Amino acid sequence: MKRASATASVLLLILALMGFVLAGGVSAQPKTELTVALSSFSTEVLDPPLGGHLVKYYLSMIFDYLVGTTPDGQPSRDGGLATRWENSPDYKRWTFYLRKNVKFHNGDEVTSEDVKFSLQRNIGKRSTTGYAGPLRTLIQDIETPAPDRVVIVTKEPTLIIPTYLSRSLSTEGMVTPKKYIEAVGDDVFARKPIGSGPYKFVEQVTGSHIKLAAVDNHWRIGTPKYKTMTFRLVPEEATRIALLRRGEVDVADVSRERVKELEKEGFPLHYRREEAILTMWWVLGPDGRTGPTKDKRVREALNLALDRAEIAQSIFGGKAEPAAIPLGLSWSFKEVGFKQTPDMLYPYDPARAKKLLADAGVGSGMSLDVYAYQLPGLPEGKTMAEAVAGYWEKIGIKTKLIPVDYPAFRKAWFDRSVPGAVGYFNIANRDWIGAYALLEKQAYTPSKPSDTVNDPEIDGMLAQVMRQTDKDKINTLMRGVYARLRSEHLGVPVVYLHSPYATSKTLGNWNPGSVMYDLFFDVLASGK
């Protein structure tokens, strides 16, 4: 009896082992590749000064920043090449002390000369980064007194230097190899980039994917969980979800209306912890405004024509809230002490919108080109643009919907080649500095000013903000900026929203953070 029992136990053990193998024992092994499916890359340029803030998903893996940033968007002495920094009493000299023994992917050591070279390149005349203009205007000199020390000298006192060179904003703070770029040239570097980040470039197939490979024992992540990281461009949401269900991708941005469906299937949903604001802007002409939008009544009419509650519910699946202030984010409001009151929300009032258009003398003769495109974290972009165009049609505005990819619109916006057209972006700036940067007249275009709005009063307040070192005075000025944006109807705020990302059921804990166009995949890949 005992012998029979023992034999049965052995057979059961063998069957169990066979079942493990047949049922996918291989899958029990740690996953070594992370695959991310995104609705849009926005741009596929791999050279930091040419890509701007919209490509940080993969650029922040390839390159290190001078100043690190926590997922909450706070400048960090732990996540960047600078282990610490200090400022002079007059706030015009900023000294950064560099992490030692950091190497580029070709083996060259990172020095202060690389930092100086990178910053000059990132804010130079060919740069299209988000905030090259303000930095170029502000920086007087860059000194390298030692290989591990760099000093940035500004023309005016300012507090913005650490944040502007951190991961929380654009790509100006990314450090690239001086010797390599000088040897191969800009064109080769753009095709075969080398950085000092935790992942190195492997290949790029335009319109398809970007593949990276982990650097062993990198100071940011230690021993990596994922040997490779692949970003796939998958514009169709149905395809992204199908790939997720089949286990072919690990992370996918999804629309808010599909969230409940995926949650019911057991897929974890991760959200940026702070909301972004979706704001529409009309492209300014050479004169700073274009046509009918010069008239305050027209700008108010465009806002009153939108039923934001319906947009939030029908397009964003209830995962959004009506917005009132362009560039106004809850945490920036809190920081500067600005209170958004219920009366600031635009009511849905098409009758009053029509009257305002008539009073302005445009009536039904006004026309607008509305550009429609997707953005990372905003797969609903085209649908939202269609809805907004439809609302404007109801008050007599003739609209033309123009489907494009975002790089095409961005170029047209910078060049001011389509004055009067309407575009949009989802903004997740951490604090007042982000709002300031997007409104500053020198932002974005390297060759000429290309402001988001053109208002002398706002320009005056922003000029003071840039050179102000008293936080209370900065807060007072920014409260004035927010109030002016609303009172003059400068822009069309649509909704506050949270960006959802669905992941595989085995991915584990992940905090996508609150930094614009960055999801902190290095933290996810960290073996620390």
Angle at 521 between CA 518 and CA 523, to 5 degrees: 115
Q: In terms of residues, how long is the chain?
A: 528
Q: Which of 346, 340, 345 is nearest to 302 (CA)?
A: 346
Averages of pLDDT over each 10 residues, the chain, 528 residues? 48 45 48 92 85 78 94 84 97 97 97 98 84 84 98 92 87 96 96 97 95 95 95 95 97 91 94 67 67 87 96 89 78 77 94 95 85 83 93 95 86 77 70 61 46 77 83 89 89 85 90 82 85
Q: What is the pLDDT of residue 313?
A: 92
Domain ranges of the chain: 67-177, 197-272+499-524, 276-497
Query: What pLDDT, on the 0 to 100 scale, is given for residue 274?
Result: 54
- Alpha-carbon distance of 175 to 297, in angstroms, equals 46
For 317-345, the pLDDT digits (tens) are 888 889 888 776 666 677 788 888 889 99
Helices (H), 36-97: 48-51, 56-62
* Inter-helix orientation angle 432-439/471-487, to 10°: 60
CATH architecture of 67-177: Alpha-Beta Complex (3.90)
Q: What are phi and psi of 97, to 5 degrees?
A: -100, 120
Q: Which two tokens stand for residue 173?
A: 């703070």
- What topology does CATH give the domain 197-272+499-524? D-Maltodextrin-Binding Protein; domain 2 (3.40.190)
Burial of 123 per CB tally in 10 Å (0-12, 13-18, 19+):
buried
Answer whether CATH 3.10.105.10 is correct for domain 276-497. Answer: yes
Coil vs helix vs strand at 229: strand
CA 326 from centre of chain: 17
Q: Number of H helices and number of E strands within the chain?
A: 20, 19
- State whether the Cα torsion 429-432-434-439 is positive or negative: positive
Distance CA 229, CA 162 (A): 29
pTM of the complete model: 0.82
Predicted pLDDT at 427: 64
Neighbouring residues of 184: CB distance < 8 A, sequence distance ≥ 6: 192
Q: Look at residue 76 and give its three-state secondary structure.
A: strand
pLDDT score recorded for residue 481: 87
Q: In whole angstroms, how far apart are CA 466 and each of 12, 85, 242, 447, 504?
A: 73, 20, 47, 20, 44
String of DSSP letters for 376-397: TTBTTHHHHHHHHHHHHHHTT-
